Chains A and B, each alone.
Chain A
C-alpha cells in the first residue's frame, strides 16, 4: 500500500494562451525550385515561431510574425514532391491545426485584376487567385493552332473553402470551345482539355457554379500543354513494388498510351497520390493509385473469349462505350470466403460500379452497390469448389474510357491500424510543456496484443511512457518534457514493436478533415503518417492531483482531490475529466467554480472492474474566449481490489409508523482493523436508518429503520449499505453492498371494525 500513498503531483495548465489557428497559407502553393512569400491566415499568429511540415522538401527561410499576423518565405526544393504538403504553425504553447500547401511544376503568377480586362497568361503557368461570390475571373491566352491545351483548377481540393467553380473556354471567335464543372477527377474542381482549331487568343472564364451560394475562395489554375491522365493501369500494386503503368488519357486502347514506372510506398499507406511526370511535363494534379490488396494478375482468355484470373488477385477493367457489363471468371475453393471489391470512384473514375457475383448458371450469388462509398464490395463463400462470374457494370449503364476500375478478389483484409483518439474536431497533436506532461490515447485495430506500442523521433528532452496494454483497450501514452527541453517540434513516428522485433510504423495513420460540409461531414481530408509533437512553454498555472492512499474497491468508489494552484485566473471555469481509465472504472467530471480552489473528482469501479494497479490519466480544460484549451495532468496510480467483506442480502418488512430491524450476515476476506461506520443510502421516502457500526468481530451487521407514518409504501430494493472499513493505517476504505429488500406496508386496519359491529 505504500505505493499508493498520496503524492502531490504538479500539472501545468496554460489556458491564457491558446494555440494558433491556421486558416490558410496564401498563396496556397508555389513552384518547386522557387522561393515563395506566403502570408499565414488565421488567428493567434503573432507568436508563431516555426512552420512544421510533415515531409521534407520545403524549407522556411524566413518567418516574420507581427501582431496577429505572420509571413514566411519558403524555399521549395527542386526535387520537392509535387502535390499536397501538410503544415502546422508552432508557437510557444503548441501546434496549430493542419493546412495544406501545394507544390506544382509550373511557374506561378498571382491573379491580378486589371479592371474588367482579362489577365493575359502565357501557356505553362499556374495562377494563384481568389474568387468572390458573383465574380467572374477572366484570363486570356494565346494558343497556336493545333495545340492541345489543358486547364485545370484546384479550389476545393486546396482544403480552404467548399467553393464550387465552373470553367469555360471561348475561342478567338467568342464561341464556347469547352466548359467544365464537376469532374470525377477533380470533384467540384473543373478541368478540361481542348484542341485549338485556330490560333489566337482564347478566353478563360472562371466563376462560381452555384450563383448566390455566397462562397468565396482561392484557387490555383494550371494552364499549359502538359499531360492530364485520368488514371493508370494497373491502378495499383503491392507495397514497395515498382509497377509499370499505362496512363489512361481518354483513349480506349491502352496499348498506345504513355507509360511510366511508379515506386509504390511501403509505409503503410493504402493509397499513393502520384503526380505523373512525362516528357511533356507534369500533370497538374495527382491521381490515386491503390497500394495493397491482392497482387496484380494477368487475364487469361479462353477460346470462348472468357476472361479468367487467379485468386487472390487484382485486375483492371473499363466499361466500354456501349455500357455493357464487364465480366471476369475466377475459380473459388469450397468454404474460402472471397471478398470482391470494385475500386472505381476511389480511383477518380467516372464509373459508379455495381458488382454482381454469379454462379456458372448465371444465378446471382452476391451483389452490392455502394458498400464502400460509391464503390462496391461483396463477399461470397462457396459451398463447393466452383467457377464464379464477377460482373461489373455502371449504375446508369453508361460507359467510356473514363469508366475504369480495379477489381480486387481475395481474402478479406484486416489491416492493422493505430491512430490517436481525439474528440470530434480536435486536432491530433501533442504539446508537452517544459517540465510538464501530456497524455495521448492511441486506438488500436487488428493488432496483436503482444505488439507493444513504441514511439520514435520525439523532440529533444521529451520521453514517452507507454501505459498498460490491455486486451481490446486503447493505450495511454504519457509524454514528459524536461524542464530544460528546448522549444521545438518534431514529426514523431508511432508504431509497434513485436517481442524482440523491429519498430514498425506502418500501422499508424491519422485521417483528419481539412474541410467540413453539412453536419461536419468531411469534404476534404488528409492522412498523416506521423504524429506532430511539440515542446511548449511551461505555464504559470498548476493543478495538484493527489493519488489515493487507499485502494478502489470493486462496486465502490472514491474521490480524488484536485487543487488549483496559484496564481489563479478568477474568470476561468476549469473542468477536469479522465481520458484513460482501466476497464470497469469510470469517472465523473469535476469543475472549479470561480474562486474555488479544490474539487473532488469521483471515480467508481464496477463489480467487474479489472483488478490491479493502473494509471489514471486526467485532463483539465477551460474555455478562453471562444477556444477550449486542454492540458493533461500527471498520471496517478489507482489499485483496484476485491471487496474485503461481503454482506448477505436482507429481507425486512415493517409497517408505516413503526420500525424494523434487519440482520445482514458478514463474510470477511481479510481481518477487519477495528470498527467500521455504516450508512445506508438510497432510502425510500420516510424511512431513516439509525447510525450503525460494524464491529471488527461482528458476524452480522444490525440495522434498524424508522418508518414514518407517511413513508412510501411498497417494496424497495435499491437500498445500498456503505461500510467504511479501516485499512491497516486506520484510513476508511469504502465498500458498498446491496441491502436486499425493504418492504414498507400500510398500517393494517383494526380487525372487527364497522363491518363487524356497525349498523347494517
Chain B
C-alpha cells in the first residue's frame, strides 16, 4: 500500500506534476511575503472548515445570527458580515487569538458546529494573520481565481493501489498555488475509490469521478480501477462502426469482454420497442427470423425509422422533456404542440430547426403550436433553467441563489442566461384555454446577487447588449443550435443513446457537469459530430447506434458496470410500451380517449389522458424538466395491476382477442402456443417450454376447461419477466 502504482496514464503526467510542484514551492515562498488575502486565503479556509456550508452558516438564514454566503460565492458580503456586523465583535485585531471567529472555530467557546479549526493549524494561522493585519478586504488588484486544475486529471489503478492528488489554483495574475489542503472532495463512487485530502485509493473494480471544489470552481479526477493487472487479451470481436470502436476501447482498457451478440428473436423485439414503441407482430417476428440476409438487421432498423410510430415515440419523448402538459398548456395547446413535434419527426425536419422554432415561437398556442413551449414556465429565470436543461442537459437551478457548488456556473451566468427570456410575454386570449406568446421587446431581469439589470449572456460566453427591438431569443437560438455549441448536439445525441442503451453516456442525461463527466467522452463527441454532419437528422444517430454491435449485445454473463456497455442493460418496459405490448400480445389493444382504436399510447397528446395503468407504471406528470419524472421502480400497485387487475385478464378473455380467435378457429395446440410465444416474446417456445405447457392444456377435459387452461398459460406468460422487460 505504500507504493503508488499507476498505469501509463498517470506515469505520463509525472513530469508535469514535478514541474508544477517546483513552481508551487517557489510560489509558496513568494506568498510568505505577501499580505493575507481575504478572498484567496481566508475564505478558502472557512469553506474547507465547512463554516459556509448549507447546513451551517451558509444556510439562507444563517445560523445563530451569523450568516455567510454559501461556499463563499459573495466575498464582499462575507467580509461585511465578519468585520462590520455586530459592531465588529467577531474579530479583534488587538488580540487576534481572542477573536470570536477563532474561538468559536477552534471550539474554545461553546459552538454548536463543534471544533472546525485546530488552533495553530495552517488555516487557523491564516485567519489570525488576516485579523492581525486589520481584517482588510481585497482591493481590485487582488488576484482573482480563474480556474483550478487537478493533477492527475485521470488515473487507472489496480485494486489496493493509490495515487497522490494535487489541486492547483490559477489566478488572473501572480503565480499558481497548491491548494490541495483546502479543497473539498466529492466522490461519485465510494465503493470503487476512497479519497483523502491528497490521495485516492482503489478499493474495488469500477470507475469513480472525484471532484475537487475550491473557491467556487471545480475540477474532476477520473479514476478507473482494475480488479488486477494480470495479462489480459481483448477478445477478437469486430467493431461494426465507430460506436463499437469507442466502447471497445473502454472495455479493452477496463479489461472487460463484451457479451455475445443477441439472437434475432431478441433483436427484433428490442429494436421494435426502442424505435416503434411496441413489439413486432408474430408475422413480423417470424419473417425477420426466417430472413437469411446478412443485412436484415440494418434493413429492419431503416424500416422502423420510417414508420409513423417512430415519430410518435420521438414526439412523446421530447414532449416529456419539454414539459408538454394539458395542465400548463391547456389540452388543446398540449395537443397542438405534440402534433407539431410528431409532424416534425415524421417529416424528418432537422432537429436544430425544430428547436429554433420552439425558441423563437410567437403567436397563439392554437395557431403557432411551438408557442406552447413558453407555457412550460412562467418566469424568465425558469425559462432559462428549462432551456438549459432541455436542450443542453445543464442544470442551472443551484446558481439562482448561489454559485453552483458542483459546477463552474455562477449567479452571473444564471441571470445572464435568464435575461434572454426577460421579454417573453404571454397572455390568455379570448378563448380562455388559448394563450398568446409574444416578444414584448421590453423588460429586464435583475441579478439577485448584484441587484443590477442582467445583460444577456450565453453560458460560457461574454455578455452582449442586445439591439433594441430585436427578439433576444433569436440571438439565443443562434448560439444554442450552432454546431459550435458543444452542449446542444451532444445532449441530443446523449438522449438518443440513453433511450437505446438504458443509460446515457452522461447519466442522468440532463445533468451535464464537471463532476458528472461522460463515460465515453470520445464517443459522445463522435455522436455529436455525426449529428452536425447529418444536419441534425436524429434518424442518423438512431441508425448508427442501432447498427452497432454494442446495441445488439445480449445480456452480459458477468456483472460489469452498466456504464461500460459490455452487455445489454435489462430494463422494465415503459408504461406506454407495456400497455401497448399487452394489447398487441392479446390482440385487444387499448382504446385511448380521443384516439382511434389501435393508436399507440405514445400518441396520447399532453400525456394526461386518464389511463390509470399508465400512471401506476410511472408515466411522468410532466411537472418538471427532470428526466427523473418518469418512474421505473417496481411498486405493489404495478404487481396488483398485472396479477389481479382487469388489464391483463380482460384482454386475454376479450371476445375478439388473439386467444379467443385461436380457440374459436380450433387451432391446434402447438400452433396456439407458437402464436402466443411470438406475440408475447417474439420467439417460438423452447422444447422444454413446449412440452410443459402443452401438457398443461392437454389435461383439459372440455372446451371450457381448455379455454381456462390456455387463459392461465397466457396469463403466466404476460406476467413473466421476459414479457415485462426490455432485453
| 8 Å CB contact of B436 from A182, A213, A395, A523 | A395
The residue in chain B whose Cβ has the minimal distance to the Cβ of A136 is: B596
Per-residue B-contact encoding for A505-526, CB less than 8 Å = 1, 0 else: 0000000000001100101000
Q: Which residues in chain B, 400-439, are within 8 Å of chain A measured between CB atoms?
A: 427, 429-434, 436, 438
**Are A210 and B335 in contact, with the CB atoms below 8 A?**
yes
Contact indicator A214/B594 (Cβ below 8 Å): yes
Is A396 an interface position by the 8 A CB rule? yes
Q: With A133-B593, A352-B436, A396-B438 as known contacts, state yes or no: A211 contacts B605, CB within 8 Å.
A: yes
Binary interface profile of A, 158-198, with partner B (CB < 8 Å = 1, else 0)?
A: 00000010000000000000000110000110000000000
Q: Is the CB of B430 within 8 A of A187?
A: yes
Is A373 interfacial (CB 8 A cutoff)?
yes
- Contact surface of B with A, Cβ cutoff 8 Å: 331-332, 335, 362-364, 366-367, 427, 429-434, 436, 438, 592-596, 604-606, 609
Q: Name 17 extra pairs, CB < 8 A, besides A134-B596, A188-B431.
A: A210-B594, A211-B335, A211-B593, A211-B594, A212-B605, A212-B606, A213-B331, A213-B332, A213-B594, A352-B429, A352-B436, A374-B429, A374-B430, A396-B436, A517-B433, A518-B433, A523-B432
Residues of A within 8 A of B593 (CB): 133-134, 211-212, 214
* Bound Cα distance A370, B440 (Å): 14
Q: Which residues of A contact B434 (CB under 8 A)?
A: 182
Q: Does A345 contact B (CB under 8 A)?
A: yes
Asked if A209 lies at the interface with its beta carbon under 8 angstroms from chain B, I say yes
Neighbouring A residues of B367 by C-beta, 8 Å: 182
Quick one: closest B residue to A373, CB to CB?
B430
In the complex, the answer to whether B594 meets A182 with C-beta atoms within 8 Å is: no
A-B CB contact pairs (8 Å), 5 listed: A134-B594, A134-B596, A182-B364, A374-B429, A396-B362
Question: Which B residues are in CB contact (< 8 Å) with A214?
Answer: 593-594
Partner of B431, one of A133, A182, A211, A370: A182
Closest residue of chain A to B608 (Cβ to Cβ) is A212
* A208 interface hit (Cβ, 8 Å): yes
B595 contact from A211, A374, A518, A523, Cβ within 8 A: A211
B316 to chain A, nearest CB (A): 14
**Which residues does chain A contribute within 8 Å of B609, judged by CB atoms?**
212
Known: A211-B335, A395-B436, A395-B438. A370 touches B427 (CB 8 A): yes
Most B CB atoms within 10 A — which of A213, A370, A395? A213
Given contact pairs A187-B431, A352-B436, A212 touches B362 in the complex (Cβ within 8 A)? no
CA distance in complex: A326, B604 (Å): 44
CA separation between A215 and B335, bound complex, in Å? 15
Per the bound structure, the CA–CA distance linking A188 and B434 in Å amounts to 10
Q: How far is the CA of A188 from the CA of B427 in the complex (A)?
A: 18
In Å, the complex CA distance between A517 and B428 comes to: 14
What are the residues of chain A within 8 A of B595 when measuring CB–CB? Answer: 134, 211-212
| B residues less than 8 Å from A133 (CB atoms) | 593-594
CB atoms of B432 and A521 under 8 A apart:
yes
In the complex, what distance in Å separates the CA atom of A187 from the CA atom of B430? 9
Nearest CB in chain A: distance from B593 CB, A = 4
Q: How far does the alpha carbon of A210 sit from the alpha carbon of B609 in the complex, in Å?
A: 11
Counting residue pairs across A and B whose Cβ atoms lie within 8 Å, the total is 64
Question: Which A positions have Cβ atoms within 8 angstroms of B?
Answer: 133-134, 164, 181-182, 187-188, 208-214, 345, 352, 370, 373-374, 395-396, 517-518, 521, 523
Query: How far does the alpha carbon of A396 sit from the alpha carbon of B438 in the complex, in Å?
Result: 6
| Alpha-carbon gap, A518 to B434, bound state (A) | 13
The complex places the Cα of A210 from the Cα of B366 at a distance, in Å, of 11
User: Can you name the residue of chain B whose Cβ is closest to the Cβ of A214?
Assistant: B593
User: Considering the chains assembled together, what is the distance between the CA atoms of A214 and B331 in angstroms?
Assistant: 11
Tell me the bound Cα distance from A523 to B596 in angstroms: 29
Kindly list the 5 A-B residue pairs having the minimum CB-CB distance in the complex, ordered from nearest: A212-B594, A211-B594, A212-B593, A212-B609, A210-B332
The CA-CA distance from A213 to B432 in the complex, in Å, is: 15
* Chain B neighbourhood of A134, CB < 8 A: 593-596
A676 to B261, CA, bound (A): 107
B433: which A residues are within 8 A, CB to CB?
517-518
Give the most central of A133, A345, A396: most B CB within 10 Å: A396
Give complex CA distance A188, B431 in Å.
8
**Closest B residue to A346 using CB positions:** B430
Residues of B within 8 Å of A523, CB to CB, are: 431-432
With a cutoff of 8 Å between Cβ atoms, the chain A residues found around residue B592 in the complex are 212
Complexed CA–CA distance, A430 and B438 (Å): 47
Measured between beta carbons, the chain B residues less than 8 angstroms from A396 are 362-363, 436, 438
* C-alpha gap A212/B434 in the complex (Å): 17
Cα-based distance from A370 to B434 in the complex (angstroms): 15
With both chains docked as a complex, state the minimum distance between the C-beta of B258 and any C-beta of chain A, in angstroms: 44
Residues of B within 8 A of A352 (CB): 429, 436
Q: Which of chain B's residues has its CB closest to A133's CB?
A: B594
Cβ–Cβ < 8 Å partners of A373 in chain B: 430
Interface centre among B432, B595, B605 (most CB of A within 10 A): B432
Q: Which chain A positions have C-beta within 8 A of B363?
A: 396
Q: How far is the CB of A283 from chain B (nearest CB, A)?
A: 21
Report B526 CB to chain A, min CB distance, Å.
Answer: 40
How far is B428's CA from A373's CA once the two chains are assembled, in angstroms?
Answer: 10
| Closest residue on chain B to residue A208 by CB atoms | B594
Distance of A214 Cα from B592 Cα, bound (Å): 11
Give chain B residues whose Cβ lies under 8 Å from the Cβ of A370: 427
Bound Cα distance A108, B433 (Å): 32
Q: Which residues of A contact B596 (CB under 8 A)?
A: 134
Cβ B594 vs Cβ A164 within 8 A: no
Chain A's closest residue to B425 (CB) is A395
Closest Cβ–Cβ distance, residue B537 to chain A (whole Å) = 26
CA separation between A323 and B593, bound complex, in Å?
41
List of A residues within 8 angstroms of B594 by Cβ? 133-134, 208, 210-214
Instruction: Please tell me if the beta carbons of A209 and B332 are within 8 angstroms of each other in the complex.
Output: yes
Nearest chain B CB to A8's CB is how many angstroms away? 51
- Distance of B324 from chain A, by nearest CB (Å): 13
Complex Cα distance, B591 from A402, in Å, reads 41
In the bound complex, what is the Cα–Cα distance between A558 and B431 (angstroms)? 50
Closest to A395 in B: B438
**A182 / chain B contacts, CB cutoff of 8 Å:** 364, 366-367, 431, 434
A567: min CB distance to chain B, Å: 48
A692 to B93, CA, bound (A): 79
Smallest CB–CB gap between B612 and chain A, Å?
A: 15
Tell me how far the C-beta of B325 lies from the nearest C-beta in chain A, rounded to whole angstroms. 13
Q: Once the chains are docked, how many angstroms separate the CA of A186 from the CA of B434?
A: 14
B438 touches A181 (CB 8 A): no
A521: chain B residues within 8 A (beta carbon) = 432
A238, B619: Cα distance in complex, Å: 59
> In whole angstroms, how far apart are the Cα atoms of A209 and B341 in the complex?
16
- Chain A residue, CB-CB nearest to B440: A395
The complex places the Cα of A212 from the Cα of B331 at a distance, in Å, of 9
B432 neighbours in A (Cβ, 8 Å):
517-518, 521, 523
Chain A residues, Cβ within 8 Å of B335:
209-212
CB pair B427 A212 closer than 8 Å: no
Residues in B neighbouring A212, C-beta threshold 8 A: 331, 335, 592-595, 604-606, 609
**B292 CB to nearest chain A CB (Å):** 39
Question: What B residues does A345 contact at CB under 8 A?
Answer: 430
Complex: chain A residue closest to B330, CB-CB: A210
Which of B332, B363, B436 has the most chain A CB atoms inside 10 A of its CB?
Answer: B332
User: Which of A164, A395, A517 contacts B332 (CB under 8 A)?
Assistant: A164
State the Cβ distance, A154 to closest chain B Cβ, in Å: 16
Q: Smallest CB-CB separation from A184: which chain B residue?
A: B430
A374 to B438, CA, bound (A): 14
In the complex formed, the residue of A with least CB distance to B363 is: A396
B336 to chain A, nearest CB (A): 9
Residues of chain A with a CB closer than 8 A to B364's CB? 182
Bound complex: CA A213 to CA B326 (Å): 10
User: Nearest Cβ distance between residue A96 and chain B, in whole angstroms?
Assistant: 27
Docked pose: A374 CA to B429 CA in angstroms: 7
**In the bound complex, CA of A480 to CA of B438 (Å):** 58
Contacts of A181 in B (CB 8 A): 366
CA distance in complex: A642, B606 (Å) = 66
User: What distance in Å separates the Cβ of B467 from its nearest Cβ neighbour in chain A?
Assistant: 16
The residues of B that contact A187 with a CB separation of less than 8 Å are 430-431
